[in-house]
Every structure is written in structure tokens, then in C-alpha cells.
Amino acid sequence: MADKKFSGISGHVIVCGYGIVGSKVVSSLIEHNIGFVIIENDPNIVKVIEELGYNVIQGDATSSRILKSAGVASAKAIAVVMDNDAKNLFAVLTARDLNKKIFIATRSNDDFIREKLVDAGADFIVMPQKTASIEIVDELMR
């Protein structure tokens, strides 16, 4: 679980989930020289992240304790990009409760959950499947 603490850092971005979307977010943060801490629950993925030399906490991003360990109180933003809408919703609720001013970006696969994410305090929500579908249809119609 969370044995590391990053509460001493500030102005960083917390990335919850290091799957396809999370790894792309991290790549962009590195490209823009923005500090970050990754929260990942899968111990095998955590090992890979550690081998890359990135700041990582193994644990559940819906946990107040884990988010506090990642320095949520002093972070400028959080990217909640796990591939589970319910977990994303709980992580958004928890992050907003712990830091009223943090910018929260998240993903959703469902319109109903998207509405709940807005109610929970998400500032930006992307729907990858919907976006991909629109782009494919646009291309097919050319």
C-alpha cells in the first residue's frame, strides 16, 4: 500500500491510473516538464512505473489516505483516468472533498456517470469511446 509520501511537494499533478490514458497523460506531463505523482493499484504496473523512475504510490485512488499521501492538498490538478467509471466518480468526490480548489479532469464511458461526475465536482470530462466514434464516422463520411 502507500508507503511513500509526496505531501511535501506542491503544484504537481496527480495521475490516478496508469493504463492507456494515464500513460499518455504522464508522457504529456513529462514533455511539458510538469511534476507528477501516479497512483496505481496494480502491483505489477507499479513495478514498471518504479523502473521508469516515476513518483508512484501503490493504492486505491478513491482512498483519502492515498490521495493525501500523493499531496492532494497542494496539487494543482488531478487526472482521474482509471478504466472504471464508479472508481473515477468516487476518486473525484474524494479529491474535491480534500481540496476545493484543485482542477479535476476525468474520463467517463457513460452519459449518466458523466452527469454524476459534474455533480461531484469534475472540471473537465472526456468520453474516449464517444470521441473516437465521432472521429471515425467523420472520417468515413469524407
Query: What is the rounded distance in angstroms from the CA atom of residue 15 to the CA atom of residue 112?
Result: 23
Domains of the chain: 13-140 (3.40.50.720)
pTM of the entire predicted model: 0.89
Q: What is the DSSP letter of 74?
A: T
pLDDT tens for the chain, 142 residues: list them: 445 677 678 999 999 999 999 999 999 999 999 999 999 999 999 999 999 999 999 999 999 999 999 999 999 999 999 999 999 999 999 999 999 999 999 999 888 899 999 999 999 999 877 776 777 877 788 8
